[in-house]
Structure 1
Amino acid sequence: ETGENKEDPEFYFGWGLVLVLESKLRALFTTVFDVMFAGVNSIYGSKNGEEMGGSSSRVSSMSMPRTEGEILQSSNLKSFNFSELRTATRNFRPDSVLGEGGFGCVFKGWIDENSLTAAKPGTGLVIAVKRLNQEGFQGHQEWLAEINYLGQLHHPNLVKLIGYCLEDDHRLLVYEFMPKGSLENHLFRRNSYFQPLSWNLRMKVALGAAKGLAFLHSDEAKVIYRDFKTSNILLDSNYNAKLSDFGLAKDGPTGDKSHVSTRVMGTYGYAAPEYMATGHLTARSDVYSFGVVLLEMLTGKRAMDKNRPSREHSLVDWAKPYLTSKRKILHVMDSRIESQYTLDAALKAAYLALQCLSIEPKLRPNMNAVVKALEQLQDSGRDHKGAPRNSSVRNSHQHSRNAHKHQMKNANDLSNRNSISYPRPAASPLST
């Protein structure tokens, strides 16, 4: 399960029938699900960002509170006045906006590191202030859920929540500032600031995000994240991944229950098919979402993109058949990281993604197994620092490109294909 299978390439063959069945079932499942809350699309980029948070994980000794009063009193977070945050963000100036999503806008601000009071712009501790849009897709319950979970859960791979504001109709959240922004931007935004992540950095981010999910699923926390996607993975100045946006998180099943029954919410393209069809939520639902994100990191393509040819709208459906063979895997790998990895590493990462994307939840590895697989993959790459040990990958790339060019030349239906674009995900609510 950890991607360490060393059999010859034909061990992938058994996946063929499974892939056909999965494709048929997914076609049925996707009819019941539509685009949901899109996370904040961060565009952080300040060199003045300072990092916060400890190196160990912990959960508050109190049991998860249930009433609003208990949540606010037990969170150990600073309660900010609205006027303080207005000053800290320079009156929520438009040029302070870091991103915008279903919750509202996120603004850059500054506070004193010791007193946590508003500081002069450019001095003190840099923060990110998320302000609830009263007419947005998320509301008070999502705001409260964020405080409920991030007020008590602490881990190096979870973003740090510093405080909140509850005053009249104002609902705000104050976080540590993440200088490198979101994984989404680094994968899909093509401009001078957001450079493509290298293979090594992608594996580092994948491992960090996996550790965050593994902590949430642990007996210590027992939380189902429910909205794992690239826009919710933020990066600090050293490209350490931290999960953000816990507005859709749920407590995991207790006692002899196998799942949590809930309204279907999340983001189209990332949610597990059984959850879309039944509303039954388990930790393995998050594992599926992780598989989608890992596939995005390998391919450099979005989970869903209707600007691509129809058969490529769904990244999972399109890419799966290529993940089972050494001869095909290079067709889907991101060309921007060509020759930065060994063929063996690409196959192991692809096989791990394939396991996570199994349509049968019980066949998906748990996140601890995913962490172990990624650690082994990272260790195996340190000796050659991400570069191929020989020319096999480079030659394979060249062979794949030549073969692909030949196919394109002889396929009239592909000759006029437009170049792929990367639209931002839509944001709209869904309930079932």
Structure 2
Amino acid sequence: MGYSNRSFSLSMTRLLLNELVVLGLIFASTPAQCVTDSSDVQALQVMYTSLNSPSKLTNWKTNGGDPCGESWEGVTCEGSAVVSLDISGLGLSGTMGYLLSDLMSLKTLDLSNNNLHDTIPYQLPPNVTSVNLAGNNFSGNLPYSISAMITLTYLNVSHNMLSLSVGDYFANLARLGTLDLSFNNFSGDLPLSFSSLSNLSTLYMQNNQLTGSLNVLSGLSLTTLNVAKNHFNGSIPQELFSIPTFIYDGNSFTNEPSPPGRSHNKHNSGSGGHTSPGSDGQSSDSDNGLSAGIIVGIVLGSLLLLLVAVLAFVFCIRKNKRKVSGARASRANLSVSTGNVHTETQEQRVKNVAAVVDLKPLQAEPVMVERMSKNGSLNRMKSPITATSYTVASLQTATNSFSQEYLIGEGSLGRVYKAEFPNGKTMAIKKIDNAALSLQEEDNFLEAISSMSRLRHPNIVTLAGYCAEHGQRLLVYEYIGNGSLHDMLHFSDDGSKMLSWNARVRVALGTARALEYLHEVCLPSVVHRNFKSANILLDEELNPHLSDCGLAALTPNTERQVSTQMVGSFGYSAPEFALSGVYTVKSDVYSFGVVMLELLTGRKPLDSSRVRSEQSLVRWATPQLHDIDALAKMVDPALNGMYPVKSLSRFADIIALCVQPEPEFRPPMSEVVQALVRLVQRASVVKRRSSDESGFSYRTPDHEIIDMSF
């Protein structure tokens, strides 16, 4: 028994040795596997291509390679993960690429002091702690993805060409310690979410076009604040004078002189003040000291200013107490007019707030406004309403009493008029039909306005004002003067207005970003419910602006919905809505897919003039989306074959995902945006003519189509 066991053991040992030898030979003949995480590799490869494959990035490759194992220039790894990317000051050109969000382990991103251009990518590494993009040529504005980067401690985008308002993206960035927005073209007021930056110690905003007050900064624990050379106005909050380094020259503040006993850099936009030495290197005699009379005058003047400030503070406290007492005494009979709502809103905007309201990126302390309904009950609504309150008389004047000549459209809630105001400004007025809203919806009108007025996105038509007096309910929007996508695709007889393929892709991407904002940035999500090409307005540069956002809160009553909205939107409606009336964000995704089909084919969603099998665009087109030959026959004839075949195929793939009959299989809009961005980025690496920025394509000798607009 012992012998047989020993023999069995020897046999097993030989067998294992043989297996190990075979495995060793296999591994020896197999190429070395990539050490770096595959998603990190792909993200860096895309970046390398977007940077025009510069030789300065040693060891980098467009295909293959191992960033961690091969020590790619500027790349630092921990294990198989890329944790730091520092390629600053190398004179790099191009763009940042579209897959940065795949760098899930990246903590430090430094691309500063290069020649990078275009916009900052919509998606940045989500878990990064330090981002430095200073000293480049980035344009556009800050990306919304910053709002979700909760680990961020350092953000520097200074010395670029960023513009528009500083987005209200900072509510969740409690760890942010340094923020540098200086030397750009930012405009507008400071975002209210700045008040949530509890750990912010250093804030640079000098040399921009910023306006409004600094009140939102008064509760922060700053050690350095530079707001020089902007257009700020009003009174500097007294709390800011306690900041050790506070630079504020070049604005229009009403209380610029520093409080007694402190020295602030009013006239120096650098890091600190300085003395003026004499010719011999010492201070001149006239600067050695101040006379006793001047010192006494300064002291007495300072004491007087301090006394006035204290008295003003006490007066404000007593005045506020009287307001509160008076409000409590008269609350039973309170009826708040729209003018008062607007005044209270403006006062509330300057408070230091931290409470979260309905929309995640836009924070403000809710103001409870009471409003007497027609049945005598007292209703409460959340405020503020950031839109301007207009009178009926002013809107009548601007539209010539809503005359037919000013009529520019009609929707499910009423007609839309062009309005020309005395100051030269042109707006669009939606005059809501009284029969379109029930009593309950009327009571909720101001609350709906409160939500709509806080939607801010470059691809969403801004609600600038409203009117709610004398039984009238009107909405005042910014005016987009180039008509709707629906009209340009289906009713344009002017050949000069024909949309090129590149322009169509831009429209799809812009509207996708608008829906992504509504669905995934706003909290709770905003469902559009009426997404169609007629609600996509185009400006003079053919940039899309989605209209009627937030109007789902003012749903038409059943009769009007059937008679107008359903007839006009049936071709866009998702199957689940047509069958059960259930409408979700995924229903918006389906409608978006239908609009993409319009862009691809130039056909209407429903067209009774066609043969029966082609009347429904989705039913006719869907089976052909993956057939390249059939796809070529589906393309809008107005394009005259001027489109890149690969771009067309990828565009069709996105459509197929969006118009799936099962809602759960449709992608979220963030994935649609990323797919369209990838389509654009792939096109952008093709050589383009610098003299042509019109968004049109041209044929090359080998019949490929070069994209000109990205």
TM-score (norm 2): 0.42
3-state DSSP of counterpart to 2:458: coil
In the alignment, which of 663, 666, 670 is matched to residue 364 of structure 1?
A: 666
Counterpart of 2:425 in structure 1 is 125
Change in Cα spacing, 1:110 to 1:182, as seen in structure 2 (3 Å) is same
3-state DSSP of counterpart to 2:468: strand
Matched residues in 2 for 1:327 and 1:367: separation? 28
In the alignment, which of 159, 184, 193 is matched to residue 461 of structure 2?
A: 159
Change in Cα spacing, 1:62 to 1:93, as seen in structure 2 (3 Å) is same
Alignment size in residue pairs: 323
In the alignment, which of 392, 404, 414 is matched to residue 104 of structure 1?
A: 414
3-state DSSP of counterpart to 2:671: helix
Change in Cα spacing, 1:339 to 1:62, as seen in structure 2 (3 Å) is farther
Q: Identity over the aligned pairs, expressed in percent?
A: 35
Query: Post-superposition shift, 1:67?
Result: 8.2
In the alignment, which of 221, 233, 257 is matched to residue 536 of structure 2?
A: 233
Q: Write the letter of the residue equivalent to 1:157.
A: N
Query: Post-superposition shift, 1:193?
Result: 8.4
Counterpart of 1:207 in structure 2 is 509
Query: Post-superposition shift, 1:103?
Result: 2.1
Preserved contact between residue 366 and residue 383 of structure 2 (Cα < 8 Å):
no
Give 1:36-55 correspondences, 5 Å limit.
54=165
Change in Cα spacing, 1:337 to 1:146, as seen in structure 2 (3 Å) is farther
Preserved contact between residue 145 and residue 247 of structure 1 (Cα < 8 Å):
no
Preserved contact between residue 339 and residue 393 of structure 1 (Cα < 8 Å):
no
Counterpart of 2:605 in structure 1 is 303
Q: Does 1:279 align with 2:602?
A: no
Query: Post-superposition shift, 1:228?
Result: 0.8
Q: Give unpaired runs (5+ residues) of structure 2.
A: 1-162, 169-360, 372-378, 555-560, 689-696, 706-710
3-state DSSP of counterpart to 1:59: coil
3-state DSSP of counterpart to 2:493: coil
Structure number with greater CO (CA < 8 Å, separation at least 6) is: 1
- Show CA shifts across 1:65-106 (max 9, x none): 998776584211111110011112222222112212222221
My pick for the range that moved more, 90-99 or 133-142, is: 133-142
Matched residues in 2 for 1:342 and 1:67: separation? 58
In the alignment, which of 230, 233, 245 is matched to residue 548 of structure 2?
A: 245
- Show CA shifts across 1:210-251 (max 9, x none): 000001111533111111110111122222212111365369
Preserved contact between residue 56 and residue 156 of structure 1 (Cα < 8 Å):
no
Matched residues in 2 for 1:359 and 1:64: separation? 42
Q: Write the letter of the residue equivalent to 1:341.
A: Y
Matched residues in 2 for 1:239 and 1:309: separation? 32
In the alignment, which of 90, 96, 100 is matched to residue 400 of structure 2?
A: 90
- Show CA shifts across 1:54-75 (max 9, x none): 4746424357999877658421
Preserved contact between residue 225 and residue 246 of structure 1 (Cα < 8 Å):
yes
- Show CA shifts across 1:387-419 (max 9, x none): 46664579xxxxxxxxxxxxxxxxxxxxxxxxx
Query: Post-superposition shift, 1:358?
Result: 0.9
Matched residues in 2 for 1:179 and 1:206: separation? 19
The alignment's C-alpha RMSD in Å is 3.2
Q: Does 1:291 align with 2:601?
A: no
3-state DSSP of counterpart to 2:648: helix
Matched residues in 2 for 1:125 and 1:168: separation? 25
Q: Give unpaired runs (5+ residues) of structure 1.
A: 1-51, 112-118, 252-262, 395-432
Change in Cα spacing, 1:138 to 1:304, as seen in structure 2 (3 Å) is farther
Matched residues in 2 for 1:59 and 1:130: separation? 24
Counterpart of 2:452 in structure 1 is 150
Query: Post-superposition shift, 1:355?
Result: 0.6
Change in Cα spacing, 1:233 to 1:54, as seen in structure 2 (3 Å) is farther
Q: Write the letter of the residue equivalent to 2:649.
A: L
Larger Rg: 2
Q: Write the letter of the residue equivalent to 2:424.
A: G
Counterpart of 2:490 in structure 1 is 188
Change in Cα spacing, 1:105 to 1:249, as seen in structure 2 (3 Å) is closer
Q: Write the letter of the residue equivalent to 1:268.
A: F
Change in Cα spacing, 1:147 to 1:289, as seen in structure 2 (3 Å) is same
Change in Cα spacing, 1:137 to 1:71, as seen in structure 2 (3 Å) is closer
Preserved contact between residue 72 and residue 147 of structure 1 (Cα < 8 Å):
no
